[in-house]
Amino acid sequence: MVNIKVDSVKNRTYDAIVIGSGISGGWAAKELTEKGLKTLVLERGRDVKHIVDYPTANKMPYEFKHRNEIPRDTREANPILSRANAWREESDHFFVKDAEHPYIQTKPFDWIRGYQVGGKSLIWARQTQRWSDFDFEGPARDGFAVDWPIRYKDIAPWYSHVEAFAGISGNKDGLAELPDGEFLPPNPLNAVEDHFKKVLTERFEGRHLIAARFANLTESTETQLAQGRSQCLSRKLCRRGCPFGGYFSSNSSTLPWAENTGNLTLRPDSVVHSVLYDEQKGKATGVRVIDRITKETTEYFSQIVFVNASAYNTNLILLNSVSSRFSAGLGNDNGLMGKYVAFHNYNTGIRAEFDGMKEFATFGQRPGSAYMPRFRNVFKQETDFLRGYATGLSASRNLRQDTSGTGRELKDSLLNPRLGKWYIGAHMMGETIPKESNSVSLDTEKTDEWGMPLLRVDIDYDENDARMEVDSIEQLSEMFEAAGFSNIKSRRERKAPGLDIHEMGGVRMGKDPRTSLLNRYNQLHACKNVFVTDGACMTSTSTQNPSLTYMALTARAANYAVEEMRKGNL
C-alpha cells in the first residue's frame, strides 16, 4: 500500500503547474515546456481541440436554427451574458451562462467568461498594442497607484518575442506613446479613414490615426507555418474559432506547440480549489483540484505554480488558498489582495455620415479597424481628469436596398442595391483608476456547486471617469466636424463595468511588499515559487488592449522562473 501511495504521488508530480489555459496560461505552457519542464495545465472548463471543436466555423447563415440570434427565452435566462456583443448563436458554446458560475454583485458588474481550453482567447477582440514608458511611469507621475516595478525597456524584448510567434499585423508608426513592434503587413485604412488621418495631422497636433494592430495573420511567416497556421481569409468569423489558425489563440498556437515538446499534460474539467503551501519548506508545493463533473478532489504537486485563471478567478483561488501562515490568502500579508482592481471604460461613442469620397467604397470583411492612441495627459497633465483614453474608429460604405416601394418597384430595388453614404463610428476606451474601494472578495456564506466561496464584486465608476467621458465626446465631435462629417450623434451610456472584459488588478505588481503582492518578475513577494501573469498582476490599466502585455509578462516570468529553478533558488 505504501508503494502504491508513493507511486500515486509521483504520478501527480510535475516540474510546473499552470492554472488556466487562456492567453497567458497558454504562453506559460509554451515557455515552460520548451525549456524542458514537465508541465501540467489545469483548465476548469471542457476540452476544446483546435479545428475539431469549432462546430459553427463553416456554417452558412441558413444553417443556424435561429439565424444566428439567441432565442428570447435564453436571453431572458441570461441577463448578464445577453449584454455581451460577441454572444451569438455561432459562439454560444464558448460563453459561460449566468447560472453556471454565479457571483455576488455588491454593485452592478457584468462578468463575461469563457470556461474551456483556450479560455477567452477563442473569442477575444485581437487588438494588440504595446505599452510605453508613459504607461509604466503613469502611476509614479500622477500618484493614483503604486509605481510599476518595471519600465518599457524591461519588457520590450518580450513584446518582440511574443509578437513574432503570435503574428501581429501593423505599421511602423514611429509614435513615442505607442511603440512599434514586430509586424506583419497591416490591414490598411480605407479612403475615409485615411482622410480623417490627414485632417488630424494637419489640424490637431499630437493626434494620430493608425491602422489598428491585430493578432490576425495578413501573411504567414515560417514561424506561423510551423504552428500549422495559415493566413487570415478575412471571413470575420473569428468568434466561432478559426480552423485556419488565421488569428492567434491558445488552441491554434501555444498549446499545440507545448504539446509537441512532449512535456505537456493538459487536464480539462479541473476546478482549482487552492494552492497548497508547506509551512516548513516556506513555499507552495502544488494545487488542490476539484473535478468539475465528479466533484472528486485530487492534489497535484510541482516546484513552481503559475496562476493564470483570468484576473478575478486568480484572485478567488489565491484568496481561497489559506493556511496557518496565510490566513487571508496566499501571499496576502498586507491585506491588499483583491483590492485596487480596475477596468476599461467604454461608455461613450460617436457616429456620423460623410457625403464625400463617393468614388470609393468598402467591400469584404476586413478584420482590422483604425485606432487613435491616447492623446490626453501623455506628455503633461492638461485636463481636469487623470490619464486618458484611446479611440477605436472605423468607416464603411455598403450597398443599400430601398424597401419603401411595392410591386415591380420594390423588386427592382431589391435586385439592384445602390451604394449609400459613408458611415463613421468611434468609441472611447478609457483608463480607470485603481482604487482600494474597487475590490473583489470571497463571500463568507455562499458557495458554488464545487464548494468554492462565491466571488463578491464591488466595483464602480467615479468622477474621474465621468470627466473623461465628457471630454471624449467633446474632442471627437470637434475632430469629426473638422473632417467634414455630418449628422454627428454621440452617446453616453451607463453600462455596468465588466463588458469591456478587461478585468485587471487585485494581485498587483510593485516594488514594496507593503503595498503590492508581486515583484518585478511576477512572483508573490511572500511565496517566491508562485507566479501571477494574467490580468490580476496589473498595477494600472493604461488605455491599450491588455492581452499583448499579459503575453509578454508571462513569457518573461516563465523564462526567469526556469533560470531560478536551475540555480536552485526556487
What pLDDT digit, counting tens, does each position of 50-106 carry? 999 999 999 999 999 999 999 999 999 999 999 999 999 999 999 999 999 999 999
Per-residue pLDDT at 399: 80
Task: For residues 511 and 465, state if they share a domain.
Answer: no
Say whether both 308 and 364 belong to one domain.
no
In a domain, 555, yes or no: yes
Residue 429 in contact with residue 390, Cβ under 8 Å?
yes
State whether 379 and 264 are in the same domain. Answer: no
Q: What angle do CA 20, 24, 25 make, to 5 degrees?
A: 30
**Can you spell out the DSSP letters for 65-122?**
TTTTPPPHHHHHH-TTGGG-TT-STTTGGGS--TTTS--EESS--------BTTGGGG
Q: Which residues contact 45 (CB under 8 A, 6 or more apart)?
A: 114, 115, 116, 117, 119, 268, 269, 292
Structural domain includes residue 491: yes
Per the domain annotation, does 386 fall within a domain?
A: yes
C-alpha cell at 507: 494581485
Do 488 and 542 sit in the same domain of this protein?
no
Between CA 348 and CA 350 the distance in angstroms is 7
> Is 70 part of any domain?
no
Is residue 2, in this structure, part of any structural domain at all? no
Residue 232 lies in a domain: yes
In a shared domain, residues 271 and 328: yes
Q: Show the low-confidence residues of the chain (pLDDT under 50).
A: 1-4
pLDDT at 2: 41
Residue 229 belongs to domain with CATH number: 3.50.50.60
Identify whether 307 is part of a domain.
yes
Q: Please give the tally of structural domains in the chain.
A: 2
Q: Within this chain, do residues 101 and 249 fall inside the same structural domain, yes or no?
A: yes
Do 246 and 220 belong to one domain?
yes
Q: Are residues 132 and 39 in the same domain?
A: yes
Taking the C-alpha atoms of residue 464 and residue 470, their distance in angstroms, rounded to an integer, is: 10
Together in a domain, 279 and 421? no
177 shares its domain with 251: no
Q: How much is the pLDDT for 5?
A: 59
Query: Do the domain assignments include residue 118?
Result: yes
Q: Which domain holds residue 322?
A: 11-62+81-170+215-343+438-456+499-570
**CA–CA–CA angle 265, 266, 269 (5° rounding):** 140
Q: Mark whether 166 and 34 lie in a shared domain.
A: yes
What is the reported pLDDT for 362?
A: 80
Identify the pLDDT of residue 4.
47
Rounded to 5 degrees, φ, ψ at 109 are -150, 125
| Same domain (yes/no): 129, 41 | yes
